[in-house]
Amino acid sequence: MQQTDNEGLREAQELESHVAWLDSFTGAALGVLAVASGIYTYLGVSSLLDDNGSLSFFAAISYSVAVSVGIFVFWSYMMRLLPAVRARASRMGLMLSMGLGSAAIIAMSSWLNAAALAGAAAVEQHLARTVQEYQGALERANEIAVSAQGLERDVARVRQSFEDLSEQEATGNLSGLAGEGAVFRVLRQKSDELAGLEAQIATQQPLVDAAFAEGNAILSRMRALTVAPGAIEARSVEFSEEAVRLAGVITTLRQLSVAPLVARAASDLSASVVLPELDGRTAETREGQRSTIASVLELLGQRAETLRAAAGEVMAMPPAPDTIYTPISTADAVIIYARNFVPSWAGAIAIDLLPAVLVFILAVTQNAIRAGRADQPLADSLTVAQMRAALKAAQELDPDTPPVRDPAERAAPVVVSTGVERGSS
Run of H or E residues at 255 = helix 232-255
Kindly give, in sequence order, each residue whose CB lies less than 8 Å from that of residue 127, ignoring residues fewer than 6 positions away: 222, 225, 226, 235, 236, 239
Confidence tier at 421 by pLDDT (50, 70, 90): very low
- Residue 218 confidence (pLDDT) above 90: yes
User: Is this model's pTM higher than 0.85 or not?
Assistant: no
Map out the domains of the chain as residue ranges.
2-120+340-381, 121-329
CA distances for 404 relative to 157, 218, 393, 413, angstroms: 126, 94, 10, 20
Cα dihedral across residues 71, 73, 79, 85: positive or negative:
negative
- Check: CATH 1.20.1260 for 121-329? yes
Contacts of 230 (CB under 8 A, 6+ apart): none
Mean pLDDT of the chain: 79
340-372 pLDDT, tens per residue?
A: 888 888 888 888 898 999 999 988 888 888 776
- Looking at per-residue pLDDT, the higher value among 303 and 113 belongs to 113
Predicted local confidence at residue 221, as pLDDT = 93
CA distance 203 to 210: 12
Of 226-230, 291-295, 376-380, which range is least confident? 376-380
pLDDT in tens, 226-263: 888 888 888 888 999 999 999 999 999 988 888 888 88
- Predicted local confidence at residue 151, as pLDDT: 83
Residues making up the chain, counted from first to last: 425
Contact in structure between 169 and 187 (CB atoms under 8 Å) = yes
Q: Which residues of 384-413 are buried (b: 16+ CB within 10 A; e: fewer)?
A: eeeeeeeeeeeeeeeeeeeeeeeeeeeeee
Lowest pLDDT segment from 65-69, 144-148, 177-181, 221-225: 177-181
Buried b (16+ CB within 10 A) or exposed e, 357-367: ebbeebbebbe
Burial class (CB in 10 A: 0-12, 13-18, 19+), 326: exposed
pLDDT tens figures, 306-332: 888 888 888 888 888 888 888 888 888
Cβ count within 10 A of residue 323: 18
Confidence (pLDDT) at 75:
92
- The proportion of the chain whose per-residue pLDDT surpasses 90, expressed as a percent, equals 21
